[in-house]
Amino acid sequence: MKDKPLHLVVLAAGEGKRMNSSLPKVLQPIAGRPMLAHLLSAALALNPARVHVVIGHGAGQVSAMLESFDDARLASVAQRELLGTGHAVQQAMGDIPESARVIVLPGDMPLVRSATLTAFAALDAPLAVLSFQASDPHGYGRILREADGRVVGIREQRDASEAEARITEVNSGVLAADAGRLADWLARVGNDNAQSEYYLTDCIGLAAGDGTPVAAMCCNDPEETLGANNMRQLADLESALQRRARGELMDAGVRMPDPGSVQVRGRVSAGRDVVVEPGVVLEGNVSLSDGVVVGVGCVVRDARLAAGTRLEPYCVVDGARTTGACTVGPFARLRPGTVLAAGVRIGNFVETKNAVFGEGAKANHLSYAGDAEIGARANLGAGTITCNYDGANKHRTTIGEDAFIGSNSALVAPVTIGDRATVGAGSVVTGEAPADALTVARARPRSIPGWKRPAKKEPD
């Protein structure tokens, strides 16, 4: 089959009524991504000529997800009437050359590995199915074999006899066939069944009746074939994928004292001697270099942490990066656009956004730095804030090297603090604070003798 162009047909038209959700079933998220996105990532590793995604219920939402995938090989195909899996595949066959090899995949199979699909695609048979041994086969189509082991059909749960219902080898929903033959079998599939639907699985019986050999590859890890029809099953998929993701990180050398409490909801890469403490959530694209420590309860999203970076407990790091070893937290929030150089110290209850901290700069507690550039070794005292928003536009604050900002100061942007400048505590700085000078901008205190506090009125 190696000389045949490979086309994939992904069945993503179902509603998933038992989900009781306005979101189409294939878009239900696990590990931070839609089920369909997980499947497509594995499927695209086969390097197909085209991936035909059959859409129906929630077509607009599914199409939007496909566009966000940004891969020219993905094409959507509308199934306007939901008449079964065989009918769904027929909608795509018009765009597939007869000389192609076709693999049909259910859109709600997020755990399947690309290695499994590669091995399945290599089967040299006109028709093949991916099966697995189910501890509880209820709800699955049973693989029917003759006494010599030949596959002769698949019987759906609703149509199975008592004897057939006891079969534990079941259909995963993955099928491979030569396109020309598949088109012929699909044209002959009827809908005389309990659901009055056109079953793709009926092709197996038709092929066997034609004398066409049918191969069945039994998946070594049944977990890969699992789908979800309700929220309980979706939670089972989440647990399985989390176990896999954590296991891969630990195999790469990440130490997790309590792995079951860690959530991985994206793509995470990690260097040597990385420690991820209990209760951590890793989301999006995260890079943890050598020696990074992520403290208890931290949320790290779309971030790159340089070697030696330490996050103390309960920090939120979102769209930020460090370029050298530094310390953050506890209870700090780094928002998108934050860049921390080596030796930076961000302390408790400090928030940053679109702020660049030079080497050795510090904001130890209770401060906000937004749209700011903080020079090397500058120090922001407790309660320092950059007033970067005037109600309509954002403005930038520049703080020079070795500057010292006294506690409870407000820097009203646009504003520049020079190198080695000192701003007195409690100042409101609206202009330039020159280098090598003390700037104090606060009202003189005055006392009013005999002033009385207001008294509460006596009730009538």
Please give the share of the chain, as a percent, with pLDDT higher than 70.
100
Rounded Cα gap, residues 190 and 344, in angstroms? 69
Helices (H), 166-230: 179-188, 202-209
Last residue of one domain, picked from the residues 156, 191, 225: 225
Q: Tell me the mean pLDDT in the region 444-454.
A: 87
Claim to verify: residue 157 and residue 198 sit in the same structural domain: yes
Contact at 8 Å (CB) between 105 and 8?
A: yes
Q: Specify the residue for token string 């270099």.
A: 289
Do the beta carbons of residue 87 and residue 110 sit within 8 Å?
Answer: no
pLDDT tens, position by position, 126-175: 999 999 999 888 888 899 998 888 888 888 888 889 899 999 999 999 99
Q: Kindly state the tokens that stand for 65.
A: 């997800």
Residues 193 and 280 in one domain: no
Range of the domain at 341: 231-439
Nearest-angstrom CA–CA distance, 396 and 323: 22
Domain boundary among 225, 244, 270: 225
Q: Is the pLDDT of residue 460 over 80?
A: no
Tell me whether residue 38 is one of the annotated catalytic residues: no
Whether 275 maps to a domain, the answer reads: yes
User: Checking DSSP bridges between strand 281-288 and strand 263-270, what pairing results, if any?
Assistant: parallel
Q: Are 340 and 346 in contact (CB under 8 A)?
A: yes
Average pLDDT, the chain: 94
pLDDT digits (tens, 9 = 90+) for 370-421: 999 999 999 999 999 999 999 999 999 999 999 999 999 999 999 999 999 9
Within 10 A of 245 (CB to CB), how many other CB atoms are there? 20
Q: What is the dihedral of CA 158, 163, 164, 170, to 10 degrees?
A: 110
User: C-alpha distances in angstroms, 443 versus 125, 217, 421, 426, 427?
Assistant: 87, 81, 20, 9, 9
Indicate whether 183 and 54 sit together in one domain: yes
Whether 282 and 396 share a structural domain: yes
User: Would you give the end-to-end CA distance of the chain in angstroms?
Assistant: 95
Domain count, the chain: 2
Q: Does 313 share its domain with 366?
A: yes
Clarify whether residues 191 and 331 are in a common domain.
no
Asked if 244 and 182 sit in the same domain, the reply is no
Pairing of strands 101-106, 169-178: antiparallel
Cβ pair 65, 34 in contact under 8 A? yes
Over the stretch 338-358, which tens digit does the pLDDT of each residue have? 999 999 999 999 999 999 999
Tokens of 40: 């497509």
Q: 183 near 93, Cβ under 8 Å?
A: yes
Q: What is the pLDDT of residue 194?
A: 80
Each residue of 27-76: pLDDT tens digit? 999 999 999 999 999 999 999 999 999 999 999 999 999 998 888 999 99
Out of 87, 138, 365, 395, which one is annotated catalytic?
Answer: 365
Residue 445 lies in a domain: no
Residue 446 lies inside a defined structural domain of this protein: no
Tell me, yes or no, whether 210 and 260 share the same domain.
no
Residue 18 vs residues 27, 56, 190, 262: alpha-carbon distances, Å? 14, 17, 26, 29
Task: Answer whether 295's CB lies under 8 Å from 317's CB.
Answer: no
Looking at the fold, whether 116 and 263 belong to one and the same domain comes out as no
Q: According to the model, what pLDDT value does residue 61 have? A: 94
Q: Is residue 62 part of a domain?
A: yes
> Hey, what are 57's tokens?
């219920």
Region of 391 please: left (phi>0), alpha (psi -120 to 50) or beta. Answer: left
| pLDDT at residue 308 in the model | 98
Q: 394: domain CATH number?
A: 2.160.10.10
Domain limit, last residue, from 179, 199, 225: 225
Q: Are 59 and 95 in a shared domain? A: yes
Name beta bridge partners: 53.
10, 76
320-346 exposure pattern, b = at least 16 Cβ within 10 A, e = fewer: bbbbebbbbbbbbbbbebbbbbbbbbb
Cα–chain-centroid distance for residue 175?
27
